[in-house]
Amino acid sequence: MILAIDVGGTKMAAGLVGSDGTVAFSARVATPQGADAPTLWKTLDELIEPLSEGVEGVGVGCGGPMAWPDGEVSPLNIPGWRGFPLRARLAERFPGLPVRLHNDAICLAVAEHWKGAGQGSADMLGMVVSTGVGGGLILDGRLVNGGTGNAGHIGHVVVEPEGGPRCGCGGHGCLEAVARGPALTAWALDQGWVPGPAAQMADAGPRFGPDDGAYREDRAVTARGLAADARAGDPVAVRAMRRAGRALGIAIASATHLCDLDLVTIGGGLSQAGEPLFGPLDEALREHAMMGFARRVKVMPATLGQEAGLVGAAALILAGESYWTPATSR
């Protein structure tokens, strides 16, 4: 069994994953908000304690940025950890065992490639569209890390080069600045969207992303609510989903040309938005991906659910020949 860990700003999850990718057991705990580094570590340590017996390795997905492959993490949404040596601390905690850590969006892409919608694809981009927009790149059958472990940042491919919205990265016109859930709802509200009955009902379910709450004025103002209103025909909501869909299609066309992809998987809350998002996505993709080789690219929803992060983290150990290549490649 592999101990898999998934560290995010809202929750920390841990699980035991078998060599076939099955999650035998998992547990999760809220990430203590505003906590200092020792408190955060203690929370994680207590979470993994009951799962530690007899494990053969530790795989970790964590929010970025981070120094990779060293695994010193500074997750944007966990201010108490800045340059925290998470990998080293876990290596001390599990002497003699392999401990591998990568970006959480990369773990999701790895999971889809290993056991989800991407099985058998040699060249795929696994995307997450939620509070942020991230991804991981598998080319020629192997995870691509890039020079600093940051390959796959599809969220910062430029889709509105001149005059596009400011992005959290400091740039402007990035896919993430257009298509992240909170940006979408903010744009829709600005255009006069008033959440309708569909949005109110949609929002009874779980949230899209861990941070949606911070952007809501009321409970229905979520990307999920917006998507529901679009499906119900609300014209502003339709335009908002169209705007996000086209931005996704343009970025996917660029990625397909550059990396000769055969598949793009889309996970995260917005991947549930249906036709109002995927129609315009496909339209923009087909407009822009006209070369013979690019036309073959398929866009599919991710198929692994909540536990994908744990599966991908475990794959860093269980399928390291494909997904853990920092040492052999340099």
The residues of the shown chain that bind a second copy, judged by CB under 8 A, are 65, 122-123, 137, 139-142, 144-161, 167, 169-174, 246, 250-251, 253-255, 257-262, 284, 287-294, 296, 325, 329-330
Our CB check for a second copy shows the closer of 29 and 258 to be 258
Q: Provide the residue type at 45 as one letter.
A: D
**Min separation Cβ 290 and a second copy, Å:** 3
Our CB check for a second copy shows the closer of 222 and 265 to be 265
Residue 153 φ/ψ, nearest 5 degrees: -75, 60
- Residue bearing tokens 């598998």: 138
Tell how many helices (H) and how many strands (E) occur in the chain. 13, 12
**Min separation Cβ 123 and a second copy, Å:** 4
Q: How far out from the chain centre does Cα 262 lie?
A: 20
Whole-angstrom distance, CA of residue 279 vs CA of residue 148: 35
**Min separation Cβ 171 and a second copy, Å:** 4
Our CB check for a second copy shows the closer of 42 and 166 to be 166
**Min separation Cβ 55 and a second copy, Å:** 29
**Min separation Cβ 14 and a second copy, Å:** 28
Whole-angstrom distance, CA of residue 73 vs CA of residue 127: 21
Whole-angstrom distance, CA of residue 269 vs CA of residue 128: 8
Q: How far out from the chain centre does Cα 98 lie?
A: 24
Q: Provide the residue type at 326 as one letter.
A: P
Our CB check for a second copy shows the closer of 15 and 134 to be 134
Our CB check for a second copy shows the closer of 48 and 266 to be 266
Our CB check for a second copy shows the closer of 11 and 298 to be 298
Q: Which residues pair with 284 in a beta bridge?
A: none
Gyration radius of the chain's alpha carbons: 19
Our CB check for a second copy shows the closer of 176 and 234 to be 176
**Min separation Cβ 5 and a second copy, Å:** 23
CA distances from 178 to 34, 51, 185, 234 (A): 28, 40, 10, 20
Structural contact between residues 215 and 182, judged by C-beta atoms closer than 8 angstroms? yes
**Min separation Cβ 28 and a second copy, Å:** 29
Q: Provide the residue type at 29 as one letter.
A: V
